[in-house]
Amino acid sequence: MIFGQVTLTFRYGREDEEVMGLKFCNEAIMCGQQLWPPHERLPQLPNTPLQDALIKRLGPHAHPFSMEVSHLAPPSVQLVPAKEYNGAPIGTSYDVRAYAAERSDEKLHRRSTVRMGIRVVQMNESIRYPGPDEVPAPTARVEKPFLLSDGKMELESSLDKGVYCHGDPILCNVRLNNSSNKTVRRIKVFIVQHVDVCMFSNGKFKNVVAMLNSKEECPIPPGKGLTKTYVLSPAKGATKNWIALEDSYSKNNSSLASTVVCNSPDERNVFAIYVTYYVKVKAIMGPMGGEVSVKLPFTLMHSPSEPDPTTEITTTATATAPTMTGGPDSPIERRESHVEQPKLDQGELSS
């Protein structure tokens, strides 16, 4: 019989620092079932277009199956250390394993097991055109009086929207009214990625992923103001702490991780890596003058309008597929793949 399972692997340390049998990773089986012959109690779901294309390509010996992962499963997130690292990916990753055994609880053997890496991705159906009442644009305003000084500094900032897709520019509107007797030397606008690794009490990191240090229209003397729009584009760069990226099959195409939030304390997952973003605006008045700042949180996620990677497979299903046979030197035995695997949404996994 053939059994299958979806396995979560959470690596929380560098592979090159594992000594004396110590492992910095944990595994959890998210779901499992009998794949072939199909269990009589399992409902027979209709094939997806991708499954039909694969059956047509691979031949009559291909058997489709479906497994469903809980909606509480944490998304795939990869942590990249500040120092150079070439070991196993750190963070949360998933793979689908199929193995031949007499019982589902038997120990997996390498020669009778194949695996395929997958990604669990959070997506929002209304991300491209959110309604005005669904995701309001963040706005913040602060007034700061100064000790032994008359007047106050007023700083107001807002974003053009509350949800952004990967690659979208972020527009930050800043309005400053200087009613004090101090002079504003420069305006600093930057985006911060906040990472929370739930397994550790001190597993919190902050990284600046975009920054503008502007002196345009500065200095701003007492009685004057500033109204300006700044454009920022978050991207991976040199950091002092670990940065959260999308779990990718290519090291060169990794983008920043999407926002991952915990809906309630009861749903907090020990294997999860929560990622949040916010824009911080600072009005700096010099070394002795102090500063005024506001924070604007926003959401960074995938767009449902992104092209489906499985489309190419379904459109080329008529192509002739090479015949693969098992063996010590076969691609199946080595479990290597030079084809980028498609992304799978959180929910039903089909093959």
Check whether 128 has a pLDDT greater than 70: no
pLDDT of residue 315: 59
* Helix H or strand E segment including 222: none
For 22-36, 259-273, 285-299, which range has the lowest pLDDT when averaged over its residues?
A: 259-273
For 85-102, give the DSSP string.
--SSPEEEEEEEEEEE-S
Cis check: omega of the bond before 75, within 30 degrees of 0 = no
**Which class does domain 2-123+306-350 fall in?**
mainly beta
What pLDDT digit, counting tens, does each position of 171-212 carry?
999 999 999 888 999 999 999 999 999 888 778 889 999 999
pLDDT top residue among 143 and 270: 143
Question: pLDDT confidence of 293, banded at 50, 70, 90?
Answer: very high
Predicted structure pTM score: 0.78
Kindly state the average pLDDT of the residues 106-118.
89
Cα 175 from chain centroid (whole Å): 32
Kindly state the average pLDDT of the residues 280-284.
95
Q: d(Cα 219, Cα 339) in Å, to the nearest integer? A: 55
Cis check: omega of the bond before 304, within 30 degrees of 0 = no
Residue 270 dihedral angles phi and psi, to the nearest 5°: -65, -25
What pLDDT digit, counting tens, does each position of 18-73 carry?
887 788 888 899 998 888 888 777 778 888 888 889 899 988 888 888 888 888 88
Same topology between domain 2-123+306-350 and domain 139-293: yes
What's the CATH architecture for 139-293?
Answer: Sandwich (2.60)
Domain ranges of the chain: 2-123+306-350, 139-293
pLDDT of residue 133: 46
Check whether 230 has a pLDDT greater than 90: yes
Spell out the alpha helix ranges (H) of the chain. 49-58, 311-315, 331-334
Question: pLDDT confidence of 124, banded at 50, 70, 90?
Answer: low
